[in-house]
Chains A and B, each alone.
Chain A
Amino acid sequence: MTLLQVRDLDVTFDVMPRGAWPWTKPNKLQAVSRMNFDLEEGQTLGVVGESGSGKSTLARAIIGTVEATGGQILWDGTDLRTMSARDRRAHRREVQMIFQDPLAALNPRMTVGEIIAEPLTTHQPDVSKKETRKKVGEMMERVGLLPNLVNRYPHEFSGGQCQRIGIARALILDPRLVICDEPVSALDVSVQAQVVNLLKRLQREMGLSMIFIAHDLSVVKHISDRTLVMYLGRQMEQAEARELVRAPRHPYTQALISSVPIPDPVREAARERPVLEGELPSPLDPPSGCVFRTRCPKARPDCARARPPLDEVEPGHLVACPYQEVISPLDTPLSEPAEPVG
């Protein structure tokens, strides 16, 4: 069953130019533009892209902390954007979020027990204290924390433990969708694997759907069923996770995948790869037509004319590039059969 359908989602911010008068018209910053995807119940969608490509804004639009300015977010077929404020608040228990900086996401003045219990006390205020304490203890055990640490404060924990606290808080209400906003990028590599595996295990046990945002393709490949590639707020490519890594079609995806370093200096030096040059253009003034054309190794003059449509080139494989082609398998650690993480 399809849990979440995102249709033509736009998020635009008004940005006041420097030194503007109050009556000056604000500049429009299009952070997310015409985003389309479906998320099936129990599946994981990976979202990758450079910093500033609008991944986090997409997540925040779905969870509702950022206002979407166009399109639809259909949850079980009902549009979240037209929901009443009260329904929306009640709906929040179904979608929870895990944050990038594990320590910053925990209130330093609250004990771990209070932090994990907060969603529970918000949505079920009539649950008794004893019941709450029991549930918090169970949840802590489930994420691999000692339940007798409930009265400790966040600053007494390591980064990995803090992230476990964040996971416990997100899962205590038994949500249907969990949005992970780069949950492991602030952690040590060894701890990353533990947290990713914990997430995978909990997803299986609780039947969760996930949106997993990262800029590390190896992590995304490991955890997600489908992967979506974003660049400057636009969708570049979307495919089944393994398929995307094995046969990337969009030049941007190819560049992303080829930029994953190989832990072998000889192979690393010998390999041929498309290189991305330059910086991400300003989202206040995106290039015309295809936004990637300014950095694309395969750009042609008519790329500037119109925004390329998202074509289904193969069943389930969508690419926003009319000149897409399968290139010879890239030499990357991702293309090896062995799993790079875990």
Chain B
Amino acid sequence: MLAGRPAVEAAEQAAHMEPVKGRSLWQDARTRFFHNKAAVASMVILVLVGLFAAFGQFVTPWSNEEIDWALLGSIPEQGGPSWENRHYFGVDETGRDLYARVVQGTRISLMVGIVGALISVVVGTAWGAIAGYVGGRVDTIMMRIVDLMMSIPYMFVLILLLVVFERSIFMLFIGIGLISWLDMARIARGQTLSIKNKEFVEAAIATGVSTPRIIARHIVPNLLGVVIVYATLLVPQMIIFESFISFLGLGVQEPSTSWGALINMGADNMRNQTPWMLGFPLAFFVVTLFAFFFIGDGLRDALDPKDR
């Protein structure tokens, strides 16, 4: 198809042909990802956990705040998982249905993870790409801000935030939003510095493409592979982070709950012969985290630029 008469004629004929669909790097990556069995299995598990969080409540007659007075005195003996009284996962220490509470906790924990990752993707990528691309003094100032925020002990700030203002899920999101994008900004900046010196960026500058457009069309799409991988690994990190806060008793407020709060409660009751209180939330926590890590690994393999 390189030059020559016949090629030109072929080109003329081909002009009337339907355009061929190209395979983008994204499509290549998708194919590679779906060849990774662990990643696909993890994805299935994650979808199931998501469905559980979204529709699990419809399966049970109990709500997450209703107390089953019939069991209250005899939780260790009769509060375990059972089909008869429709407490699938048993009840917690105050006689509330654990299944409904796990459904609700899953919602909160997944939301915290996803909101944290989203903030980091949006803010961190934009921050890092702008700092890296513009460079010079802007870069110095923007990255020093990141350094400054990183050097503040965030757990201390978060605890202060939650104590001074009301303890609420909103405050928790703000706290997570404040710290989650810092690492991402550094990663995005580093990646931008290497992309910015590629010839296709120079070609765009020489053509007269404006700076915001270069960042949006040339820099960010090429960053996205790394960003996505890091974001999937950030989701479990955020869930752990929230669990830790809740474990300290500073996270979500009763009657709402999260995996961390449930695990905390279960751990407190370990000596009361009620293993289900720890087991069910912990199982969800561990399985979901594993799934996220496997997906992150799978994505990294699939999107690795060295494979290009």
A residues sitting closer than 8 Å to B (CB atoms) are: 63-65, 89-90, 92-93, 95-97, 99-101, 104-112, 118-119, 122-123, 137, 141, 144-153, 155-156, 158, 160-161, 166, 169, 191, 194, 197-198
Contact = CB atoms under 8 A, between A and B. Distances in A.
A149 to B, nearest CB: 6
Given A111-B22, A191-B2, A123 B15 contact: no
A137 B203 CA distance: 21
Contact of A104 (B21, B199, B205, B213): B199
Interface centre among A101, A144, A197 (most CB of B within 10 A): A144
A109 B21 CA distance: 14
B208 A107 contact: no
29 contacts: A89-B208, A92-B208, A93-B207, A95-B206, A97-B203, A99-B203, A104-B200, A105-B199, A105-B200, A105-B203, A107-B221, A108-B308, A109-B25, A109-B222, A111-B22, A118-B207, A118-B217, A122-B213, A141-B11, A144-B3, A147-B14, A148-B14, A148-B15, A149-B22, A151-B20, A151-B22, A153-B23, A153-B24, A169-B203
Interface string B192-205: 00000011101111
Given A104-B200, A141-B15, A145-B11, A155 B2 contact: no
Nearest to B209: A122
A45 B206 CA distance: 20
B3 A194 contact: yes
Contact of B208 (A110, A111, A123, A191): A123
A119 B18 CA distance: 25
A289 B11 CA distance: 56
A147 B209 contact: no
Main secondary structure of the interface of B (DSSP, over half): helix
Nearest to A198: B3
Contacts of B11: 141, 144-147
A146 B24 CA distance: 18
Nearest to A147: B15
A118 B209 contact: yes
Contacts, number: 120
B221 to A, nearest CB: 4
B160 interface: no
Interface size class of B (residues with CB under 8 A): 35 or more
Contacts of B8: 144
A169 B26 CA distance: 23
B19 A97 contact: no
A248 to B, nearest CB: 32
A158 B3 CA distance: 13
B23 A156 contact: yes
A119 B206 CA distance: 10
A236 to B, nearest CB: 27
A108 B10 contact: no
A268 to B, nearest CB: 31
Contact of B206 (A63, A150, A155): A63
A123 B213 CA distance: 13
Contacts of B213: 122
B72 to A, nearest CB: 60
A112 B208 CA distance: 19
